[in-house]
Amino acid sequence: MNLIIDVGNTRVKAAVFKEDTLLELVVFDKRKIISEIKKILAKFAVSRGILSSVSVISLKKRQKLQSILPVLIVSATTKVPFRNLYKTPKTLGVDRIALACAAFKMFPKKNILIIDAGTCITFDVINEKGEYLGGAISPGVKMRYQSLHYFTAKLPSLEIALPKNMIGKTTVESINSGVVNGVCNEIDGVINQYKSEFQDLTIVLTGGDTNFLAKQLKSSIFANRNFLLYGLNEILIFNKK
């Protein structure tokens, strides 16, 4: 069995896979990473793991992990099954690498646009030749709400909410309409741009805001908020060869 560890800014997702089947997913505070991983190892017969981190995890904790389980730490130099055509591969985020691996595995010989709606919204393209071409990075939904409050004197700090009407009749309604409709129209617009370039384009939506956005988008999509975990598992399998 494989243990997939995805470290975010504050939380960790740890998933147990048997081959390519997800058996269990646990989410916990980053400060508890060692104790929570030990609990998982006591429950499952895990043989090796993989660690992906978009935030800083101390050398001491990495060494502790390595002492209790062989762990592959994902970086820009990690071997992957697709051909990377990004002009600055060392700057490509490990999350985008993992998403590309998941797309390559699940949709072979397809043109794929992966949209990761999290802290940022990323767009990544794998073509039917198995080549990673790059994509785009845009502010995420929560970041847009926060920026309106942070960069103005009077706009309130709000939680994400679906707009009741397109035309906001209060400041709160106007912010919800502007942010959510803006994000959805942006994503639909980007999808249409890529569809004009690639035939039979498969659209994947993932990330923390997947469930919130999926029903708002006009395009037909494959939604899986744990897509990145499948990609990390594929990287681990690929590097066992």
Residue 157 tokens read as 């700090």
Q: Which of 6, 20, 29, 95 is catalytic?
A: 95
The answer to whether residue 124 is catalytic is no
Spatial strand order of the sheet with 120-126 comes to: 83-84, 131-139, 120-126, 111-117, 201-206, 222-223
DSSP string, 151-177: TSSSPPP------S-SS-SSHHHHHHI
Q: What single-letter amino acid sits at 13?
A: K
Task: Give the whole-angstrom CA distance, residue 129 versus residue 110.
Answer: 8
Active site residues: 95
